[in-house]
Structure 1
Amino acid sequence: MTITSSQPITVSHSVIDLKAAFDSFTHELERLAGRFEPQALRQGTDAASVWALIEGMQGEQGLMIFGMQDHGRLPTLHGQPQKAFRYHIGNPLVAFSMTRHDIRAALYAPLTVLVYAIDAQTTRVEFDLPSSLFGQFGHPEVTEVGLQLDKKLTTLIEKAAEAAKA
């Protein structure tokens, strides 16, 4: 196998510290975000019905959780569990709006968001800014969706943090 090409890219990495307990924040994030249920798509009989089914899965900001991994269990191997979840968040309709212009956008859809506890009342959220991931392809329509996702993702995080404080 020979790598055809390789080039460095610049990615903006975001770190947000929230004054919210991990359990409360993750509960609110999961409550506000929709949930992608691929088996539900079997009910669709045509493109319009599949589109409607996906729209029905959307949560806050038109986003949904595709899955999550509990990375906090891994440190248990050294005797120190940590609270840490890795979420895959996006929307198939949004991904389609990019991949129809440039299939390479599929590399970063859905987005990855890491949430972990700093202490009992502080939760950190880290993710690569969607506009920096999708902007590398130099396609205006894809870059615009990336910019919209920057706002959607940060708004979802802000709303979950506010709800966690209540």
Structure 2
Amino acid sequence: MEHIKVITPRAYKDVKADIEKLGRLDELRQFIRSNDVESLRAGAKRIAGEDGLAIHYIALHGDLLALKGEKRELITYYIGNIVSATDMTNIDPAAGLYAPLRVVVYANKEGGTWPSARLGSAKSRISAGSKATLHDVRARRANDHLRREGGADGKRLGRQAKTCRPGRSRRD
């Protein structure tokens, strides 16, 4: 597994707002229920936008921490490309373990935010004969998106944004 962690001084609410600009699978659920494949296909391309990514689901982990006494700024987004995820799971249903990608966003004690993602093993092949791995596809898309959002070059996430690699956490 490869852990990508971006450390940014930007506020949680700002990072969350930027991510939530992505298209949403929710817009397509009516087409799934009615089995309107053509509208689903067109909608999937439309919501993918510039990055090719859309939010599939949102897990409100921070709100659920109320069960432990206090909510926190913590949320998980299931983000991916609907068309490529469908291609992968059509070839190997186990690809559903990795697509869509989970991105956890949480506030740190210094007022900044840590968006994090965990990518699957490079040994996870789309199919036995395929040279491309699930890891390659996800890593490229996640890195591209994080870079566009300023994760690696600091433009939008903040000047001190850093990207961490396998097994490492970098703290401000």
Which TM bucket (shorter chain)?
0.7 to 0.9
Alignment length, in residue pairs?
153
Q: For each residue in 1:109-143, what CA deviation from the matched residue of structure 2 results, as whole angstroms up to 9, or x when unmatched?
A: 2111110000354111221125x27x424735484
Residue 142 of structure 2 is aligned to residue 153 of structure 1: yes
Q: Go from structure 1 to structure 2 and tell me whether the alpha carbon gap of 1:47 and 1:84 turns closer, same or farther (over 3 Å shift).
A: same
Output the CA distance in 1 between the equivalents of 2:95 and 2:77.
18
TM-score by length of 2: 0.72
The equivalent residue for 1:109 is 99
CA contact (8 A) 2:125 2:133 kept: no
Output the CA distance in 1 between the equivalents of 2:99 and 2:131.
12
Output the CA distance in 2 between the equivalents of 1:119 and 1:59.
33
Identify which of 24, 28, 43 aligns with 1:35: 24
CA contact (8 A) 1:28 1:163 kept: no
CA contact (8 A) 1:70 1:86 kept: yes
Q: Which has the higher helix share?
A: 1
The farther-off stretch of 83-92 and 41-50 is 41-50
The AA in structure 1 aligned to 2:141 is K
The AA in structure 2 aligned to 1:136 is S
Residue 143 of structure 2 is aligned to residue 129 of structure 1: no
Structure 2 gap ranges (5+): 160-172
The equivalent residue for 1:24 is 14
CA contact (8 A) 1:19 1:121 kept: yes
The farther-off stretch of 143-152 and 59-68 is 143-152
Output the CA distance in 1 between the equivalents of 2:145 and 2:18.
10
Give the deviation of 1:45 after TM superposition: 7.8
Output the CA distance in 2 between the equivalents of 1:157 and 1:18.
11
Q: For each residue in 1:9-48, what CA deviation from the matched residue of structure 2 results, as whole angstroms up to 9, or x when unmatched?
A: xx222222122111001101111x2211233525988655
Output the CA distance in 1 between the equivalents of 2:57 and 2:71.
21
Tell me the C-alpha RMSD between the 2 structures: 2.9
TM-score by length of 1: 0.74
Percent of residue pairs identical: 26
The AA in structure 2 aligned to 1:39 is R
The equivalent residue for 1:68 is 58
Q: Go from structure 1 to structure 2 and tell me whether the alpha carbon gap of 1:53 and 1:148 turns closer, same or farther (over 3 Å shift).
A: same
Structure 1 gap ranges (5+): 1-10
